[in-house]
Amino acid sequence: MEALKLFDQGHQWYVFGRDPEKPEKIIDTNQFMVVDGDKALLLDPGGIEVFSTMLASVLKYLDIENITDLFASHQDPDIISSLGMWDQVLPNARLHCPWLWEGFVRHFGMSNIEYVPIPDEGGRIELNTVELELIPAHYLHSSGNFHIYDAKAKILFSGDVGAALEPPGSDLFVENFDLHQDKMRYFHQRWMPSEIAKKDWLNRVRKLDIQLMVPQHGRMFKGDDIQRFFDWFEKLEVGIAISNR
């Protein structure tokens, strides 16, 4: 599994992905980790199929007892079906997840980890010196959904927003936005159901100082490409499964 440090100024951000050993028909995912001293948070830690590779990759950077928190943006299996495995190796950790999905997420196995429900209006996750903001992203695509913003690092974890489905070995960063649009279009049109939700999210994130936007699938956005994505997404018609019937 490829790993890259994205930020290192007092605390660190890492991305893990592009796993060449994942089963062929399993969707490719990006997993993220925030490390702040002796505390670490895993963001959308992945499906059960990538658990062993993800764990081995994370342990290259810290001891397992330093993983104190997990975050699941919503209930999909590619995000959190590894929960039962993490539950065995992280008995004292906390899982921050929308309140709406507790009864669903527990089906993945959860006997030890503490479930911390996120209210609809959002909130914060505090590590040591870092306070991460939970940005409501309901219906993008899940009806209970959150993103994470780090004001110090100026990083937005955007979940499925900004996602693209690409072949194995693709680059980690968007290098040509015009060419990348076609890789995102159908995913966003089909999986994002609500114009109201899209506009609400855009109103929130346009107010933030973002230097890096990191989705859970596909490539990451930096610099001017972040604003290009916002403008592109604003104009894009979503919910096409209904409009095209």
The per-residue pLDDT for range 100-142, each reduced to its tens digit, is 999 999 999 999 999 999 999 999 999 999 999 999 999 999 9
Residue type, 36: D
Count Cα neighbours of 15 within 13 Å in the Cβ-side half-sphere: 22
pLDDT of the residue at 244:
53
Condensed to tens digits (0 to 9), the pLDDT of residues 59-101 reads 999 999 999 999 999 999 999 999 999 999 999 999 999 999 9
**Interval 147-171: pLDDT, tens:** 999 999 999 999 999 999 887 778 9
Which of 220, 205, 191, 209 is closest to 32 using CA atoms?
Answer: 220
What fold does the segment set 2-243 form as a domain?
Answer: Metallo-beta-lactamase; Chain A (3.60.15)
To the question of pTM greater than 0.85 for the whole model, the response is yes
Which pLDDT band, with edges at 50, 70 and 90, does 208 fall under?
very high
Instruction: Give me 150's structure tokens.
Output: 């780090």
Q: What is the DSSP letter of 62?
A: S
Dihedrals phi, psi of 177, to nearest 5 degrees: -60, -40
Contact 125, 134 (CB under 8 A): yes
pLDDT digits (tens, 9 = 90+) for 215-229: 999 999 999 999 999
pLDDT value of position 242: 64
Q: Please name which of 66, 60, 54 lies closest in space to residue 28, comparing C-alpha atoms.
A: 54
Q: What is the mean pLDDT of residues 17-44?
A: 90
Q: Is the pLDDT of residue 21 over 90?
A: no
**pLDDT at residue 240, rounded to an integer:** 82
If you average pLDDT over residues 172-197, what whole number do you get? 95
| pLDDT attached to residue 241 | 74
How high is the pLDDT of residue 243? 55
How far is 1 from 17, CA to CA, in rounded Å? Answer: 6
List the strands of the sheet with 131-136, edge to edge: 123-126, 131-136, 146-150, 155-159, 212-215, 221-222
- pLDDT for 148 equals 98
pLDDT at 92: 95
- Of the chain, the percentage scoring pLDDT greater than 70 comes to 98
**Exposed / middle / buried, residue 177 (Cβ in 10 Å: 0-12, 13-18, 19+):** middle
Q: Which amino acid is at 180?
A: H
| pLDDT attached to residue 153 | 98
Query: How does the average pLDDT of the chain come out, rounded?
Result: 95
